[in-house]
Structure 1
């Protein structure tokens, strides 16, 4: 509590806006943008690897939160809390901090660029500080988010490489079943959303890698068109399915499953039909430019 109070001793309207902006880097929008750029336009194999790490991480985070059931500092005397609408579920570990840690840990491991390492460390630290400054997380929460974020990437990369090398899906299917079983025990909306996108991602992965097999190679114009069309699809699914499906956990799991499936299979299929992408040739290897 003293650490939060110390950070908030510098509080003013300008810093409030700055840290509110910084904390948004740990929300779902930026990881999704970077993921679909990688998956649709840059390097499909790495896109799958990053997507697995991110989706595995959110399920992992949701399960831990429901097990630990740690209360947030929101409402504690002497602590001012901002952006509380984005502070859903329990407190430990910090989902925002874990998201940004997974994203940049994965990017740093994959691309090994000094500027990316510096940017990643700075953003991870700033997002962690922002969660405490905004009064929505304790210090242990953000430390836990960093630790579990790194663990998620290491485990995710290891599992993905094994499954991809052996061309099998046994572990993926086991994890899908395990996440579904978790819905019996974990009842928080965050866990259901995480499970939905996890299931949608892997169902899409099976469909795309077996039948669609689109190539990321395209002109700049086509890549921009893919991104715009794909993002419109994500927004439409979020908005309209929320109105059509019943409110609650089961509606959330279906909505987020649809988003995961759209990103990995439905959108690539549409790209092929609209001539924005071509079929992947045999033994095609996506190489980073």
Structure 2
């Protein structure tokens, strides 16, 4: 089903990817030349307004999977599960999601946007390095997004298990941007940039997975 959708709407997919690319470049330029915007400050204030110890802990748990070495262990463990059950191709593609860390680190150094500071927002998590794009949001979008792609495609896996994985993965992708802003680790535009870039990378990874080259198919 998913393969048919991609084939039928290939022209639409190309247009969407082009729009996302220009959107990310435009957003990157915006955060380089401007201080935190009014919408950044407003969203941070709204998310942090009703803070509590329980919510602090919950948001930390959501972000926990995206910090090193937890993210590395999670990806390798997931790849090993696929490999153990003879899904070797899926195991290899799962490991490719680790490239999100390289992409994120390179862009952070290039754009060099400072993190939110205590004079502007409530800091629950003191994060290191630069702010844009959000590495957590980028990683979650690619890793959990690709799990959704694979679970939608692999009909040999029990349907209930696939639905559970898809639901949990979608929940993580939805929650992590709010988590990063709530914890004071990022601005809204940081997580927006991470999500846009994540969708771009996920689309490329999904295309390579769903439409393998003839050479790799023969092998």
Normalised to the residue count of structure 1, the TM-score between the two structures is 0.51
Partner Cα separation in structure 2 for residue 116 and residue 131 of structure 1: 22
Say whether residues 1:23 and 2:63 are aligned partners: yes
2:189 paired residue among 120, 129, 140 = 140
Structure 2: gaps spanning 5 or more residues: 1-40, 153-161
Which residue of structure 2 lines up, in the alignment, with residue 14 of structure 1? Answer: 54
The number of aligned residues is: 165
Say whether residues 1:64 and 2:104 are aligned partners: no
Partner Cα separation in structure 2 for residue 137 and residue 114 of structure 1: 31
Q: Which has the larger radius of gyration?
A: 1
Which residue of structure 2 lines up, in the alignment, with residue 90 of structure 1? Answer: 130
- The answer to whether the Cα contact below 8 Å between 2:141 and 2:173 also exists between their aligned partners in 1 is yes
Which residue of structure 2 lines up, in the alignment, with residue 196 of structure 1? Answer: none
Which residue of structure 2 lines up, in the alignment, with residue 203 of structure 1? Answer: none
Say whether residues 1:119 and 2:168 are aligned partners: yes
1:51 paired residue among 95, 116, 122 = 95
Q: Write the deviation string for residues 52-80 of structure 1: whole angstroms up to 9, x where unpaired.
A: 2x13322221221111111110x241412
- The answer to whether the Cα contact below 8 Å between 1:31 and 1:99 also exists between their aligned partners in 2 is no
Computed over aligned residues only, the root mean square deviation of the Cα atoms, in angstroms, reads: 2.5
Instruction: Report the CA distance shift for 1:109/1:10 in structure 2 as closer, same or farther (over 3 A).
Output: same
Which residue of structure 2 lines up, in the alignment, with residue 103 of structure 1? Answer: 143
Matched ranges for 1:86-235 at <5 A: 87-112=127-152, 113-159=162-208, 165-167=214-216
Partner Cα separation in structure 2 for residue 72 and residue 43 of structure 1: 40
Normalised to the residue count of structure 2, the TM-score between the two structures is 0.66
Partner Cα separation in structure 2 for residue 38 and residue 88 of structure 1: 33
Partner Cα separation in structure 1 for residue 213 and residue 128 of structure 2: 35
Q: Write the deviation string for residues 154-194 of structure 1: whole angstroms up to 9, x where unpaired.
A: 22344567886425xxxxxxxxxxxxxxxxxxxxxxxxxxx
Instruction: Report the CA distance shift for 1:111/1:96 in structure 2 as closer, same or farther (over 3 A).
Output: same
Structure 1: gaps spanning 5 or more residues: 168-282, 284-289
Instruction: Report the CA distance shift for 1:7/1:155 in structure 2 as closer, same or farther (over 3 A).
Output: same
Instruction: Report the CA distance shift for 1:157/1:56 in structure 2 as closer, same or farther (over 3 A).
Output: farther
- The answer to whether the Cα contact below 8 Å between 1:26 and 1:99 also exists between their aligned partners in 2 is yes
- The answer to whether the Cα contact below 8 Å between 1:49 and 1:157 also exists between their aligned partners in 2 is no
Instruction: Report the CA distance shift for 1:23/1:13 in structure 2 as closer, same or farther (over 3 A).
Output: same
Partner Cα separation in structure 1 for residue 211 and residue 171 of structure 2: 31
